[in-house]
Structure 1
Amino acid sequence: MRPIPPGARASRHHLVPRLKGGTHAGTVLLHHICHQAIHARFTEAELARDLADPDALRAEPRLAGFLSWVAGKPPDFHAPTRAARDRTPKWR
């Protein structure tokens, strides 16, 4: 999602969430703030069903605003991430 400079917080994102069978599926290294933003906006089911690909995540409108905002921050920028208001189950 964004460059990860040496010393910046980073974490591995399971492309298919472990709870949805992705324990041995692929992972990608993400800047920690981007990883938090993904999990604040999407359910595990959404990630497994529709967003198991980095390009699909980048193209998702609910993440695009965050990515535009964070692109203007220094590469080592980090801030707490709150749950997004639009993260509601599709069954509602």
Structure 2
Amino acid sequence: MPEPIRLPPQPEACELCARNALLTRHHLIPKSLHNKPYVQKRYAKSERITATLWLCRACHNQVHRLFSEKELALTYNTRDSLLSDERLRTFVAWLADKPAGFHPRH
């Protein structure tokens, strides 16, 4: 029997801004694309499922505001690659010192 695929455990703080806020799981390779041939060629099933980050709602919303699902799957599929984008890095730096319950208005 194959080994079950285990998701990474939830940390105490957002993996982008490091705030102790309510966290949501962000799939670095969007679930809606898991069955696309170009995604299946690049990533094993276990990687498609386990490549996740725990993000606060503000960071999660900003990631999806900035990038299409295809961009997320092909280019911004790691924490470091997300933070390589200056727009997201600027947002995360701005958000980092806000209280956990703070939600930016967009």
Of 28, 40, 47, 1:15 maps to 28
Segments of 5+ residues of structure 1 without an aligned counterpart are 83-92
* Structure 1 residue aligned with 2:98: 73
Using structure 1 for the length normalisation, give the TM-score. Answer: 0.72
TM-score, length-scaled by structure 2: 0.64
Please identify runs of 4+ aligned residues in structure 1 that moved more than 4 A. none
What RMSD over aligned residues (CA atoms) do the two structures have, in Å? 1.9
C-alpha separation in 1, matches of 2:54 and 2:19:
9
Count of residues in correspondence between the two structures:
79
Q: How far is the alpha carbon of 1:23 from its aligned partner? A: 5.7
Note the residue ranges of structure 2 that are not aligned, 5 or more in a row.
1-15, 35-46
Flag the structure with larger Rg: 2
Structure 2 residue 2 is the aligned partner of structure 1 residue 2: no
Deviations 1:3-62 (A, max 9, x none): 242xx3210000101112176242111111101100011000100010100011011122
Distance 1:68 1:2 in 2: 7
CA contact (8 A) 2:25 2:52 kept: yes
* Counterpart secondary structure, 1:30: strand
